[in-house]
Amino acid sequence: MSGLDASSALCGAVGIEEPPGWRDYFELAKTWGARTDLTSARTDEELSEILFLDAAFVIKARWCASRATLVDIGAGVGAPTLPILLSDDGLTGVLVEPRRIRTTFLRTAAGSLGIASRVTALEQKIDPREPSVQGAPFSIALSRATFAPEEWLPIGAQLAEEVWVLTAGTEPECPDDLQLVRRIDYAVPSSGAPRSVLAYRRAL
């Protein structure tokens, strides 16, 4: 299965129409990944899952209100935030990444995909004790594989109204001042491994 077929097949399996720009993003990530350490993908199918799977389920669930602002801490290759932004012209995002080569990729990708006006890529390392990002507070804060979920929740809560946790199907221990408000559970097609996206807000 080619990379482009993998992207289309993934969207079909999830039940969404493939957003514009996803195939171009795939090719950019694959090209850069051939010479830099962008992802751990060994096949086109794995790369498609890394780039698009979480985003596809979030898009299907309509979790992002139009004009929402997202901040992605430890953005890496830009997933799932860039694919989410490509699905809705009203969304904007700040992608925070400490490694220069990855920040350069994020800026290049945003420009190539025609969304540079809606994307800010910051070369910055977040202090977990005093997290600060230009543009805060945001609508949504997310982080994938940068912090342990229990560590990420209080950090994200200082940056946004809603905090997303992406896990391998587990639910982290929640601080007393936050509450789980919605979740999506699914499986990685290539392996069957469980995945979850959990959304938290301040407890009322």
Hey, where are the domains in the chain?
Answer: 3-202
Hunting for tokens 């795939």 — which residue is that? 26
pTM of the predicted model, to two decimals? 0.96
What is the average pLDDT across 48-74? Answer: 96
Q: What are the respective helix, strand and coil percentages of the chain, to the nearest 5?
A: 35, 25, 40
Confidence of residue 3 (pLDDT cuts 50, 70, 90): low
Domain 3-202: what homologous superfamily? Vaccinia Virus protein VP39 (3.40.50.150)
Question: What is the average pLDDT value for the chain, to the nearest integer?
Answer: 95
The secondary structure of 82-121 as a DSSP string is: HHHHHT-TT-EEEEEES-HHHHHHHHHHHHHTT-GGGEEE
Residue 1: the pLDDT is: 55
Residue 2 has pLDDT above 70, yes or no: no
| Contact assessment for residue 142 and residue 156, using Cβ atoms and an 8 Å cutoff | yes
Contact 106, 93 (CB under 8 A): no
Q: Determine how many CB atoms are found less than 10 A away from the CB of residue 99.
A: 16
What confidence score (pLDDT) does residue 159 get? 98
To which H or E segment does residue 167 belong? Answer: strand 160-167
Q: Distance between CA 151 and CA 199 in Å, rounded?
A: 15
**Average pLDDT estimate for 23-40:** 92
Residue 176's pLDDT is what? Answer: 94
Tell me the pairing of strands 160-167 and 92-97: unpaired
